[in-house]
Structures are given as structure tokens and as C-alpha cells.
Structure 1
Amino acid sequence: MNLLSLCFKPFGRDSSSNSDSKFESFVGVSKERKDGLLSYRDVGRYGSGEFSMAVVQANQVIEDQSQIESGPFGTFVGVYDGHGGPEAARFVCDHLFRHFQAISAETHRVVTSETIQRAFCATEEGFTNLVSELWSTRPQMATVGSCCLVGVICQQTLFVANLGDSRVVLGKKVGNTGGVAAIQLSTEHNANLEVIRHELNNLHPNDPQIVVLKHGVWRVKGIIQVSRSIGDAYMKHARFNREPISAKFRLPEPMDMPILSANPTIISHPLHPNDSFLVFASDGLWEHLSNEKVVDIVHNNPRAETDDHKVLIFFPELIFCLVLAYY
């Protein structure tokens, strides 16, 4: 966990980016210092505070994306865990916030669960249209998808929207004891969870093979673990579940309804003084560390001069650390 120390460094200052009159955007892992597979940087200020980041690249092609956007509405954060290729995560990173921004403008910057829901829906529709446009030349795009974990902080309320198996955990101070409790805020959509298998069976009562135990892992139709995502058009639209996509993605029976969903689970959480920090992470982290262990690591590695600030840490893969402090 030495990587965490990189995220708890003092921040650089950038007075030019401390403005609510425009949107500030910090996307992906560009303009970083590199040391082998390690990339990191002190990013500086955003609309409500400061943040830094560090990434260890695990694959030759990075399938995951992340972003922070600040503006008059508050702060938007996103972690996009791609699978099958990088295209879906990149598309989400390029379009989800733009849809959210446009829809928020329609409601005079009033953020609601419906605002976020509509942004997800527009993003899914856009990616499906792209798959359709490229079907004759790049049919494999139908098998690319991305989990999406989004947080929106608006007027001391945190909205969390999730598709897939990423997770956000709150570190909450426990009275005057100096301890911090770990509180999971999001719901995961992974067929290994009994509640998700039950949900899928209820949605597909006439399909005894809707979830299949394969090599010790429960998978939707024996193919994919997550039950919700952006993309994965081959599991949502019958017209994409056919040749020329690979046989391993094609279903043996006709698809009469979508198998996967792009409908996120959304919750709202009023932020309180005892809410110390948030950890946004993909399954790459939670497969190895418990909620309590991660919260303990963050709590025991305080950043200089930010002990009283709120901190958000994002892990879009096993080892990715992005710290966001706000006042």
C-alpha cells in the first residue's frame, strides 16, 4: 500500500482554476509524471478543493477511465471500469457528464436522481447508436461495455449512481473516539451475489439458464458477471447477438428481451461533519480488501493539512488512487 502515500502528498496551487463561473475538468491520466508502470501527479485545485492522483498500469491497454468535473452545480466524479476493450469506458467519459450538464441546465442546476438517470439513459442510447453505425466494419464493438460509478456532490448532498460491480464506501468518524466506521453506500450488480441472481430469476422466470455457475463463478447466461452496464449491446439487443461476433458471445436461443440493463441504482446521502471521506473503487480493489481495511488504510494515512477536509479516493482498477479534498 505504499502507493497510497503518493496520494497523500501536499497539493500544488493553481489559482486560475478556482472559479465557479466555468466548468473545471480533470479527465483520465494525462499530463502525469511516470516511473515505469506508475503514473502520478499533484493536480491542484478544482471548484471546491484540491486533489491528487496515482495510477499503476496493469494492462497493455488501459480499459478504465475516471473524471472530476466542477461547476456551479457542484462536483461530478466518475469511475468507468471497462471490459472487452477501452471503447465503452472512453465513450462514457466523453459523454456522460456532458449529458448530465445539459440536463442539469434544463432544471436550473437542480440535481435529482432523475437528472442523473436521464444522463445515463442518453449515454447508453448514444453508445448503442455507435455500435449500430460500426456494425458492418467493427462488429466487436457490440461486445464492449463499461461499469459506471458516479458521484455528484450538490449543496452538501451526495448522489451515487452505479452500474456494475464497483463500490463506494464512506469513512465516518465515530463520536469522539478517533475511530472511523466503514459504511457501504452503493449496490453492486454482480451475479455472484445471491440478491442479484434472485433479481435476474424474477426478471426472466422462463429462462432456467439466466445465471450459470461456470468455473466456480456465477455468470449471466454463463458469459458475464455484471448484470448492468453501459454497452454490452450483444446482451441487450437481438440484432447484435449474431454473426459476425465471436461464438462465445452468441446465445443458443432467441433473445426476446434485454438480458443486461443500463438502469443505475441511485441513492442520495446528506453529507454531515462526521463524514470524513469516500472511497470509490472498482472490483479490482474490493476483491482483495474489505471495506473496513480500505477505510483503515485511508484513516491512518492522513494528508498534510487536510485532516478536517473531506477526501474522496477512486480506484478504477486494483491500484489506482485519486484523492479529492473539498472544503
Structure 2
Amino acid sequence: MLESIQKGVSRAQGARPYQEDHYALADEAFNKSGFALYCVFDGHGGGDASKHASMNVPKLVVNSDAFKKGDYERSLRDAFQEEDHLLAAEFKGQSRGGSTATVVLIAQQTMFIANVGDSTAALAIKDESGRYKALRLSKEHKVDDAAEAARLKDADAVVKKDRVIGPGHAINMTRALGDFDFKLPENGASADWISPVPFMSKIDLTPQADFAIIASDGLWNHFTEEQLVPMIGELLSKGDTPQQICENFTTKLGKTPGSDNITFMLLHFTWGKDGQNGTKE
């Protein structure tokens, strides 16, 4: 069984003038309750939306009736929708900004993932020979995705040079919290262009699951999952802690010319003798 989760988390502002990334986590009671929650939010057009989401999404998830009934996927999906409504009530008409959201909920030995935008979650699977396989758990919502392109076309969205065009500005993703000038009724279309409805996935964790990464695109601009996962695995095998690894990466990458805001969250799993096989849906 999954006995414990050792975490690390670190941020860097990079070359950007402001820090618009925020994160939230709630895993102190995992050993007793079997529940842990990890969230990364990457703001754009300001940090108001990402900060607001980091303060509210965890509470919306765990306080929901769906969560209490064990419907964890619905609790995540509803939290995204409700947070979008809360952002609208507070910031609509005041800000053009929005935020990605990638939320990972661990319930006993099942991991549930919900995301909008391009902050990515990945799982490292280690085989008997010690080799790693990187498994992406989230989805990048971009205009070059066939399903997203079809959705935008049906909603009469204007798309140019891989961006959704709004009144006076553009955005390079197709799903996010906030960004209300791309949503009903401001966009004057038949549906939202920038949708708050998350991509959902889940996976039953097994002892082959060694660690997970949740990070904003400031990290993934420098690495693919296939490149990063073996590097992290080697560092962990040498005795580096998740916190040391996160801090070392963000410090170095944050000094790179042209670097974006970076948030890097690393979860290292400790397993007991008993485990169950699982599959990703």
C-alpha cells in the first residue's frame, strides 16, 4: 500500500516582471485519512485569478457533497466550474486575466487529475530493471489539438497563428479559469471560446509508481516528460530530497534568459509490502 508521500515544491519568477504562478496543497493528514490534494495555477494577464484559485479550489473540492459521497471526479469537475463563477463575481469587467489549473487528488491509492490550460502533471513508472517510463496525466489545451479546434470552430471563435483572438488581445490556450471576454456573453458567440471545463483522468497507483511531477509550463519549456523523469529518478536514487530537487531546478532555470514563471511540485511515493495493480483510464 501507499504509505507516505514526500513532497517538494518551489517557485521562480524567471525573467518575467511579475510572479503569476500560485500553488496549493493539502496532504498533512494523508497517513491518517488517505487523502492528499496538490494544485498548480499559472496566471496570465496578472496573478489575480491564479491567486484566487489557489485559495479557493481546494476548499471547493473537499467541502463538496460529491467529495463526501466519494464521487471524486465530480468534486473536481464541479470545483472548476464553481471557481470560474466565483472569479466572474469578483473580477469580471476588472481584469482580462485568467489562469491554468492542474489539480491532483489522491484518494487512498487512486490518483484523480483535472486540468485546464498547459500546466502539466506526469507520473514516473519504474520497471524491475530500474528504467523509467513517463506517463502524462493531463492535457495541454491548445488550438492545434483537433478536438479543441473543432470546438472553437463550432463556437465561431477567431483563431490566428495558434491563438484565440479576442477584443484587443489574444490567448494561446483554449481552456482556463477566468478570461471572461472569451466567454459568454462577452464573446457574443454561441458558446465559450475559453472553456473552464477540465480534462479528467484517473489512475490506480501501484508500487511501480515512483514519483509524480506537477508543474507550470515554465518547467516544461525546458524539458519533455521523457527527458525529465529519468533525471529526477537518478537524483532521488542518489539521496536528494524532493525539496532539494525542486529548489535546484527552479533556481537554475529561473536564471535562464527569457525564462517564464516556474512552479515545480514533486511527489515521491513510499510503498509498503502490499500493492494492487492499476490502469489508467
Q: Distance in 1 between matches of 2:237 and 2:13?
A: 24
**Distance verdict in 2 for CA 1:125–1:73, change over 3 Å:** farther
**Number of equivalenced pairs:** 248
Tell me which residue corresponds to 1:18.
none
Q: 1:129 aligns with which of 78, 85, 89?
A: 89
Tell me which residue corresponds to 1:246.
none
Which one-letter code corresponds to 1:283 in the other structure? Answer: D
Q: Sequence identity of aligned pairs in percent?
A: 25
CA contact under 8 A between 1:192 and 1:225: conserved in structure 2?
no
Q: 2:164 aligns with which of 199, 220, 237?
A: 220
C-alpha deviations, 1:125-146, integer Å up to 9, x for none?
A: 11111124xx4xxx2x2x1100
Residue segments in structure 1 that go unaligned for 5+ positions in a row = 1-46, 242-250
Tell me which residue corresponds to 1:53.
9
Q: Does 1:278 align with 2:221?
A: no
Q: Distance in 1 between matches of 2:25 and 2:67?
A: 21
The residue matched to 1:88 in structure 2 has which SS? helix
Q: CA deviation at 1:304?
A: 6.0
Q: 1:113 aligns with which of 73, 95, 117?
A: 73
CA contact under 8 A between 1:73 and 1:111: conserved in structure 2?
no
Q: CA deviation at 1:101?
A: 1.7
Tell me which residue corresponds to 1:188.
140
Q: 1:235 aligns with which of 182, 190, 203?
A: 182
Q: CA deviation at 1:62?
A: 1.0
Tell me which residue corresponds to 2:256.
none
Which one-letter code corresponds to 2:61 in the other structure? Answer: F
User: Is the deviation greater in 184-193 or in 262-271?
Assistant: 184-193
Which one-letter code corresponds to 1:128 in the other structure? Answer: A
Q: Distance in 2 between matches of 1:57 and 1:131?
A: 24
The residue matched to 1:189 in structure 2 has which SS? coil
Tell me which residue corresponds to 1:321.
264
Tell me which residue corresponds to 2:276.
none
Q: CA deviation at 1:77?
A: 0.3
Which one-letter code corresponds to 2:57 in the other structure? Answer: L
Q: CA deviation at 1:93?
A: 0.6
The TM-score with structure 2 as length reference comes to: 0.78
Tell me which residue corresponds to 2:102.
149
The residue matched to 1:300 in structure 2 has which SS? helix
Q: Distance in 2 between matches of 1:318 and 1:271?
A: 30
Cα RMSD, aligned residues only: 2.8
Q: Does 1:162 align with 2:115?
A: yes
**Distance verdict in 2 for CA 1:304–1:313, change over 3 Å:** same
Q: Which has the larger radius of gyration?
A: 1
Which one-letter code corresponds to 2:191 in the other structure? Answer: M
Q: Distance in 2 between matches of 1:326 and 1:257?
A: 41
Which one-letter code corresponds to 1:115 in the other structure? Answer: S
The TM-score with structure 1 as length reference comes to: 0.68
C-alpha deviations, 1:145-196, integer Å up to 9, x for none?
A: 000000000010000001011221111112x221101111212111133442
**Distance verdict in 2 for CA 1:294–1:127, change over 3 Å:** same
Tell me which residue corresponds to 2:279.
none
Q: Distance in 1 between matches of 2:5 and 2:223?
A: 28
Q: CA deviation at 1:51?
A: 2.6
Q: Distance in 2 between matches of 1:234 and 1:320?
A: 27
Alignment of 1:1-327 (within 5 A): 48-58=4-14, 59-70=16-27, 71=29, 72=33, 74-103=35-64, 107-108=67-68, 110-132=70-92, 135=93, 139=94, 141=95, 143-174=96-127, 176-201=128-153, 203-204=154-155, 207=156, 210-213=158-161, 218-221=162-165, 223-238=170-185, 241=186, 254-302=188-236, 319-327=262-270
**Distance verdict in 2 for CA 1:190–1:167, change over 3 Å:** same
User: Is the deviation greater in 290-299 or in 191-200?
Assistant: 191-200
The residue matched to 1:165 in structure 2 has which SS? coil
